[in-house]
Amino acid sequence: MMLKIGSSARQKCKKKIVNKMIEKKARKLALRSIESVKVKVTINDIDVPIIKVLLTLCNGTRTRASVPTAGIPYEDIVAGIMEVALYVNSKIGPSLVGKDPTEQVSIDDYMTITVQQHQAFVGTKQHLFRNAMFAVSLAVCRAGASVSKLDLFRHIANLAGKKELVFPVPAYDVMKAHSHPTNKLALQEYFLLPVGAPSFSDAMDMNRKSCLSLRKLCSSKFGTDASPGKLKDGFVTNIQDMKESLEVINTAIDNSGFTGNILIGVDVATSASASAADELYEMHKKFLLLDLKEEDKDSVGDSFKEVLSFVSEYRFTAIQDADVRDNFRLSTQVGQEKRVEIITGDLKRFNPAIKKKTGNAVVLKINQIGSVTECILLAELIEKSGSSCILATYDCGSGHIEDTAVADLSVGLSVVGSGQGWKSPRGAMFNI
């Protein structure tokens, strides 16, 4: 015998089912919401303070993120970093409790507004506050990826609206020069770019083998003092001539069997070297694009041909920071030829570079960014300007952090700019 259920009874039954579904969803959302955000200060491989964030969800999931503090004097960092950490722990952290970590944009916007409105944090403290905010933002992003059951790089790609994921070309820093050690090379850093590698793993293998070849070559030619063990990244030698250093690197590449598949990039670092003694750079003046006066049209043309010849002979593919004293004329010509990437090494110089149509690549440093959302927007802005985006883990002198989030950020957005992967913090930059 079948019992007939009236319309009112059916409606009550539906309401109960709907209410149970709502309660179940609410419980699920509550479990994945943020329970706590804590900031602490630690040190990295060269004793530079870093900001580390531990974020806990109500379901027990924990995520971490670290950001180095650099670009400001060490004394100022020590004086302000604990105050910033205390403020985040007492004000920002509690205000994020209960928020959904998948709401990345709204959380980042809230923190950005907080930074702008907090009048006590100006100058150095504001810089440190932004470092702390980016660490919190990264931890939130990791939590959002965990909740969404996605790899971090796929979650970031979704936030950026990118459907196709592209693995970056791993850049290996292999030799240091003027602003780091005491030799007289005018170029600050030399790095390898395995542009001919069929895959990311092959690119890493090519870089590793070339570095080992360079190590043997430098040790036999310059002695054990050329070993990178005494420096954090590249080799240091007593080479005094730029051409000799390029020949040594190219020989190492040839000996490894990767001729034509690995090209060289250099960081001129003219923004750092412009105040140094002029005699150190006189012999390289044309190549470094220094002191080219507006009326010297013929010399600019000659230098342009010389640079292109130099690029071809020594297998260049990237030149960073070649825009000292706002003189962009020669770098503009070289960049427009599309034969080499002319890289703007600082976001502060990005707008002048766009206006003067110089350069075709920009370095995006994680300790100059305030949030994951800002990182994505800046990468989009750089791409829309017609430039390539290169993600760097640090400013010069900040050391490294053992956090693979940088590798996840780089996929689909930019290029990894890191040192050799021989030690744990540097190896973390390449581990996705």
The per-residue pLDDT for range 198-227, each reduced to its tens digit, is: 988 898 899 889 988 988 888 887 776 665
Q: Judge whether 22 lies within some domain.
A: no
Work out the average pLDDT over 104-117.
87
Which helix or strand (DSSP H or E) is residue 11 part of? helix 7-31
pLDDT of res. 105: 94
pLDDT of res. 136: 94
Q: Judge whether 16 lies within some domain.
A: no
Last residue of a domain, one of 149, 179, 201: 149
pLDDT of res. 108: 94
Residues 47 and 131 in one domain: yes
Q: Judge whether 4 lies within some domain.
A: no
Residues 184 and 137 in one domain: no
Q: Cβ distance 137 to 108 under 8 Å? A: yes
Work out the average pLDDT over 22-27.
60
Q: Which domain holds residue 69?
A: 30-149
Residues 105 and 74 in one domain: yes
Residues 354 and 309 in one domain: yes
Place of tokens 């305030």: 370
CATH label of the domain that carries residue 345: 3.20.20.120
Work out the average pLDDT over 416-430.
52
Q: Judge whether 422 lies within some domain.
A: yes
Q: Cβ distance 143 to 57 under 8 Å? A: yes
Q: Cβ distance 208 to 252 under 8 Å? A: no
Residues 106 and 251 in one domain: no
| 204/429 Cα distance (integer angstroms) | 12
Q: Judge whether 12 lies within some domain.
A: no
CATH label of the domain that carries residue 133: 3.30.390.10
Residues 135 and 271 in one domain: no
Is the model's pLDDT at 242 over the cut of 80?
Answer: no
Annotated binding site: 267
Query: To the nearest whole number, what is the mean pLDDT of the chain?
Result: 72
Residues 186 and 143 in one domain: no
Q: Cβ distance 94 to 179 under 8 Å? A: no
pLDDT of res. 69: 76
Confidence of residue 295 (pLDDT cuts 50, 70, 90): very low
Q: Judge whether 3 lies within some domain.
A: no
Annotated binding site for Mg(2+): 267
135 Cβ partners below 8 Å, 6+ apart? 39, 51, 52, 53, 65, 66, 67
Last residue of a domain, one of 90, 114, 149: 149
Query: What's the Rg (C-alpha) of the chain?
Result: 25
Last residue of a domain, one of 116, 149, 182: 149
Q: Judge whether 11 lies within some domain.
A: no
Residues 203 and 351 in one domain: yes
Q: Judge whether 56 lies within some domain.
A: yes
68 Cβ partners below 8 Å, 6+ apart? 44, 48, 50, 131, 366, 367, 393, 394, 395, 398, 399, 400, 401
Residues 251 and 145 in one domain: no
10 Cβ partners below 8 Å, 6+ apart? none
Q: Is 421 exposed, middle or buried (0-12, 13-18, 19+ CB in 10 A)?
A: buried
| 108/376 Cα distance (integer angstroms) | 12
Residues 285 and 404 in one domain: yes
pLDDT of res. 336: 54
Count how many Cα atoms sit within 13 Å of the Cα of residue 392 in the half-sphere of its side chain.
24
| 182/285 Cα distance (integer angstroms) | 19
Residue 317, SS3 per DSSP: strand
Q: Cβ distance 125 to 70 under 8 Å? A: no
Place of tokens 């985040």: 88
Work out the average pLDDT over 393-420.
63
Residues 285 and 317 in one domain: yes
Sheet holding 49-57, edge to edge: 34-43, 49-57, 62-68
Task: Dump strand ranges (E) for 9-113.
Answer: 34-43, 49-57, 62-68
pLDDT of res. 149: 92
Confidence of residue 429 (pLDDT cuts 50, 70, 90): low
Task: Dump strand ranges (E) for 124-251.
Answer: 171-176, 189-193
Is the model's pLDDT at 56 over the cut of 90?
Answer: yes
pLDDT of res. 407: 80
- How many domains are there within the chain? 2
Question: pTM for this one?
Answer: 0.76
Q: Cβ distance 204 to 421 under 8 Å? A: yes
pLDDT of res. 431: 56
User: Which residue blocks in 235-339 are alpha helix, DSSP H?
Assistant: 242-255, 270-273, 285-288, 297-313, 329-336
| 198/81 Cα distance (integer angstroms) | 44
Residues 207 and 85 in one domain: no
Distances (CA, A) of 245 to 42, 151, 184, 251, 274: 37, 41, 11, 10, 21
pLDDT of res. 51: 87
